[in-house]
Structure 1
Amino acid sequence: MNNNENMSRMALRRSRKKPFFKKWWFWLIIVIIVVAGVGFGLFGYINNKNDSSSNKADKTEKVEKSKSSTKKKKSTTTSSTDGITLDQFNNVALDSDNGTSWDTIKPIFGTPTSHSTSNVQGVDVDVQTWDKVANANAGASVSVGFANNHAISKTISGLKVNRSEKINIQKYSQIESDQNSSDIIKLLGEPNGYDDSSVNGTSINKLTYTSGINGESGAKIVITLTNDKVTEQTQSGVK
């Protein structure tokens, strides 16, 4: 066999070799690359989704905490602005020896707004005043006077009262000296303020009426009772 023939056979063999892109190993590499790319892409998507969910959960938690904090603030505000009720005021017993003590009143009424001294039926008293009163008008207040750590006087003012009919001068003229506090309230209705004291067996009560009065602006009625009997009555601007 001559050289020319050998060269022709070698050339024929070379021409019969498969191109590299038809080799199995080439496609195996392609598949590995594609799988790896999809895997990295899926991993990144899951991480981003988890981060987004985590951020959303954190934001939701912060919003819920903020709402909860707001509700607590609202609740606290509502409780603190309710004020001292008329029932709480009525439960304060007056007596120089057995009257309600300051230690009993403070946890119920809270910290006073102001403090002063006064003279009640000839006795010097420590007066504690609060400016938060339930069911009352602006400027309402409650005061309690103490002597020897016992309450001997108390006042409440500015109470809101709904009257079925107005108080006029005709009703006022029906007040008599032998009437008691129940008679007055039956005649005129509940007062807008009370001023009570009890010293050495003598109780003095003042009933003040400032709303639902037929008369001039600022019309007022004050009825004073000593040991629950009318001893004085005054009015201004009532018609």
Structure 2
Amino acid sequence: MTLNKVVGSAAEAVADIPHGASLAVGGFGLAGIPWFLIEALLEQGAGDLTIVSNNCGVDGAGLGLLLDARRISRVIASYVGENKEFARQYLAGELTVELTPQGTLAERLRAGGSGIGAFYTPTGVGTLVAEGGMPWRYAADGSIALASPPKEVRTFNGREMLLEEGIVTDFALVRAAVADKAGNCVFHAAARNFNPPAAMSGRVAIVEAERVVEVGELHPDEIHLSGIFVQRVHELTPEQANRKSIEKLTTRVRQEAHQ
């Protein structure tokens, strides 16, 4: 019998995510984010969430929806910039934010999913990342209420490196272009950013897929994420699959229009 991990709806896929859960969420900005799983989680009601993601969406979209609803208490991320409410909550002392170098964050997720407890990297040596004191949470008066601890630093082949811990989360929410019923996934272009390591990091990885195919239809060489890391697959409708917003639309007048 072929393994079938497809569930009937996004609501069913996220129904058991509890209050206080930690989640790794794929995407970069709005590229490759699991739009409908995030919206289903908003509707489901879980709060006090710890989110591990490159960023926290934008105001009113993506993870920004959960942030606006005050459902997130802690974020481990590498970028704040495009979300004003994210920055406001952080600076006002309403949100704990562990800023992590972007490549380090990706490797922490991958390491956690691979069963690697920690690893050494030169990234961050000689900065507050290694020395500690980076503000994780502010007090209402603007002072630092919680600061990052110092990290262990060792020398390898004459180069100093600091110890970073792998990340394992309770759940993961990711978006794939194609998935088979066993959970093997293919990601399109820029969506192959934080989605694979996020899925690896989650004890229960939930995929929203733009298209679901039978097991065996995907060639092994085109699979980006093995189904062994995936527990649930939700298939989007064609209309849902075509929803792909971006943060900003920047255009310029074509030169020939002036000729």
Q: TM-score normalised by the shorter chain: which range applies?
A: under 0.3
Normalised by the size of structure 2, how large is the TM-score?
0.23
TM-score, normalised to structure 1, is 0.25
